[in-house]
Amino acid sequence: MENFDMKKMNFVWVFVGTGMGAVMALLMNSLLARYLSKEDFGIFGIGINFINILSVIIGFGVADFIVKSFAVEGRKAYRFVKPSLQLFIISFTVTLLLLLSIVVLPIYDLETRYFLLLIVPNILLQGLYSINNSINQIEENFKNVALSNFLIYFVRFFAAILAILTFRDVISVGWYMVILSVLASYPFIRTINKIFNKTIKVPVNHLATIPPDETMRNTFRQTYPFGLIGIFYFIYYQSNVILLSLFAGKVAVGEYIAAFSIISLAFMFPDLIFRRIFYTRIHTWATHDPVRLKSFNNKSVIILIILGILGIVFIWLTARWLILYTAGDKYMDSVFYLQLLSLAIFFKFATAVNGTILSTQHMVYTMMKINGLIALINFIANLILIPMFGVEGAIIATLISEAVMSVFVFVISRRYLNKLVAKY
């Protein structure tokens, strides 16, 4: 009974933290869409897109690898700490150079490039957040997971509030994000210190002797699939924003963001379940209890398919009011975009648990290849469709990518689970 109550509290904490984060993200977009010009809102959307993509490059899979290694090996995984830190520093340097090259090149106007410089502290904060979250997930400290998630969204939300109350332009949003990101890094750094002090509460091998430190090369061989998965994921998840900004302009980006910010709330739900609450356990079950993992997978798929269909119906019926009350009447063209994007919910929900399962053991390399293929398909589709159809082209490219992804992930994960159970 105590274990059941603990599971309920875990879900409540993560649900509340994620829910409050989602509400703040929606309110932030709603306020900025109303009080900034369409051009400034488009610049903000471009900046957030770069934050999402570059924050993945910073850790380059270190955070997910930390969860996997400690979930399977317990204290033995401390041998990866030092080389993981080295990889984090190298990847942050590469990320900074990438962003600076984009700023230097005349791809965007001066105001956009200025804003991209101002997001650097927030990108670093995202990298620290991912490692902080991996430690909280290992310990199943979902209260801290929820608070960390809340803090990330609060930084952007409060920056938007301050900007609206003062200068009402995108550059002021950027400067407030700089200040708040620096302040918010403190609690994340405190949690990250646990990994260096060797005080993480591990799920297995609690008293095991810690082996000598791994080399950075061997550690990189195990982290890079997670890093590439994240990068490929954001290429097919966010590259349409970059290509829209290049081929259709900042106003088109703003119209797309007005619709996508609502869809992203729905996408948070499977992430809440499988990438936060059950992520450590899925890695543990894949090694120690595959029968339980298969049963969990089968039940989850059925529930999520039903929820996905209900989500699509709800958005189609309420799209006009959702856009009107979140972005305002100047974004009513986004109603149809929202309805089209809602179709992606089915594919995202139907294979959410399967995708997480394919990040366990050696299958992470297969998942990396799948994500790479989908990223390529999405990029080519965007290059062809956006110049022809604008925002509608970006949405069609997204739907094609999600559909192909779901087929690959579902088929391969089923085969993998059957093999795990057969060997058990």
What are residue 203's phi and psi, to 5 degrees?
-80, -25
Q: What value does the mean pLDDT take over residues 35-52?
A: 92
**Which pLDDT band, with edges at 50, 70 and 90, does 350 fall under?**
confident
What six digits make up the tokens of 248? 């259709």
Structure confidence at residue 153 (pLDDT):
94
Structure confidence at residue 140 (pLDDT):
86
Q: pTM, whole model, 2 decimals?
A: 0.81
Structure confidence at residue 1 (pLDDT):
41
Q: Is residue 2 predicted with pLDDT exceeding 70? A: no
pLDDT tens column, 53-75: 888 888 788 999 999 999 889 99
Q: What value does the mean pLDDT take over residues 7-31?
A: 82
Neighbours of 418 (CB within 10 A): 12
Name 18's Cβ contacts closer than 8 Å, sequence gap at least 6. Answer: 146, 149, 268, 271, 272, 276
Q: Which residue has the higher pLDDT, 335 or 14?
A: 335
Q: Which residues of 200-218 are buried (b: 16+ CB within 10 A; e: fewer)?
A: bebbbeeeeeeeeebebee
**Which pLDDT band, with edges at 50, 70 and 90, does 271 fall under?**
confident
% of the chain surpassing 70 pLDDT: 98
Q: What value does the mean pLDDT take over residues 351-365?
A: 88
- Tell me which DSSP letter residue 209 carries: P
Q: Is residue 339 predicted with pLDDT exceeding 90? A: yes
Q: CA quadruple 183, 25, 101, 113: dihedral positive or negative? A: negative
**Domain ranges within the chain, ordered by starting residue:** 2-423
Q: Is residue 405 predicted with pLDDT exceeding 90? A: yes
Structure confidence at residue 18 (pLDDT):
78
CA distances from 356 to 62, 210, 241, 272, 307 (A): 16, 28, 25, 12, 18
pLDDT tens column, 219-245: 999 999 988 988 888 777 778 888 999
Structure confidence at residue 270 (pLDDT):
85
pLDDT tens column, 370-383: 999 999 999 999 99
How far is the C-alpha of 285 from the C-alpha of 362, rounded, in Å?
A: 14
pLDDT tens column, 254-263: 899 899 989 9
Q: What value does the mean pLDDT take over residues 170-185?
A: 98
Q: Which residue has the higher pLDDT, 94 or 280?
A: 94
Contact (CB, 8 A) for 242 and 394: no
- Tell me which DSSP letter residue 139 carries: T
Contact (CB, 8 A) for 135 and 201: no
Q: Is residue 4 predicted with pLDDT exceeding 70? A: no
